[in-house]
Amino acid sequence: MDERAIGIWDSGLGGLTVVRAMQARLPGERILYFGDTARVPYGTKGAETVRRFARQNSAFLLEKGVKLMVVACNTASAVALDDLAGRLPVPVVGVIAPGARAAAAATASGIVGVIGTPATIQSGAYAGALQAARGGLSVESRACPLFVPLVEEGWLDHPATRLIAGEYLAPLAASGVDTLVLGCTHYPLLAPLLAEIMGEGVRLVDSAAETAREVARRLAADGLLAPEGAAGGLECFVSDLPLRFRQVGELFLGRRIDAIQLVDFQTKEKV
């Protein structure tokens, strides 16, 4: 049993979809969330930059004494997880491997679709994790850069989103995928629309839900679960307070956000 909090960070507020899934599965755990709202988006940035941000975000939460680190951002998980795992003194869980394992187990046709940010898709991390989970799978990947701003606009079932999603998903639907990995923090909010466009025979895999399952497994295996009956809780930190941040954050979390603290950990760096 371990009363310390779990650290979760993301490039912004999208990782609150992972927090939401974690709170549903592990209600007794205390969660410290950091959203790098000052530097979002990561999905169009270079790998070396994202790795530097990843080290800084992790250091911030480590200083607060977390027992396990969750990298909720798919882009950062894709390009920075190995680097972090070699450096951090606590277990690190990313969102790629859990999503890939669930998809590999679910597919009957052996053809799996993956959608994500340009950086995630370009990294090939999902394709690699799918192959590692089950050799011989065929993977069809597609970057969907317009989904992040559309979700942040709250256009979850808007004609413009429908049109763009139809355009992005057409090649995947045509290639015979029967399983589609939602490889970005923002995409679970589009799940009803994406499911409708892909059609009934296609199963959507939500990396957030799969990651929560993996965290629960890891905590139990390492003896790190919170004591039975613990109250749990959520504390949020952000590096900027963007316009509409509460509205957008609550969209991801699915309920009210009580307290958010603004932090400026970068001032510690030498210029």
| Binding positions for ligand DGL, rule: CB under 6 A | 10-12, 14, 40-43, 73-75, 117, 120, 148, 184-186
**Which CB sits closer to ligand DGL, 75 or 225?**
75
Q: What span, in angstroms and rounded, lies between the C-alpha atoms of 266 and 268?
A: 5
Give 71's DSSP letter: E
Q: Which is nearer to ligand DGL, 12 or 113 (CB)?
A: 12
In angstroms, what is the C-alpha Rg of the chain? 18
| Between 50 and 225, CB nearer to ligand DGL | 50
Quote the least distance from Cβ 235 to ligand DGL, whole Å.
20
Q: Write the secondary structure of 98-157 as one string of H (helix), E (strand) and C (coil).
A: HHHHHHHHHCCCCEEEEEECHHHHHHCHHHHHHHHHCCCCEEEEEECCCHHHHHHCCCCC
81 contacts: CB under 8 Å, gap ≥ 6: 71, 92, 94, 96
Other Cβ atoms within 10 Å of 112 Cβ, number: 28
Q: How far is the CB of 184 from ligand DGL (least distance, A)?
A: 4
Instruction: State how far the Cα of 18 lies from the Cα of 185, in Å rounded to an integer.
Output: 7
Question: For the chain, give me the number of helices (H) and strands (E)?
Answer: 11, 10
Between CA 105 and CA 94 the distance in angstroms is 18
Phi, psi of 240 (to 5 degrees): -160, 155
**Phi–psi pair at 162, nearest 5 degrees:** -60, -45
Least CB distance to ligand DGL at residue 23 (A) = 18
The token duo for 175 is 């290639």
For ligand DGL, give the closer residue by CB, 8 or 172: 8
Q: What is the amino acid identity at position 236? A: C
Residues belonging to the active site: 73, 184
Q: How far is the CB of 136 from ligand DGL (least distance, A)?
A: 27
Q: How far apart are CA 209 and CA 141, in angstroms?
A: 21
Residue of this chain nearest to ligand DGL (CB atom): 43
Q: Closest separation between CB of residue 10 and ligand DGL, Å? A: 5
CB of 185 to ligand DGL, least distance (A): 4
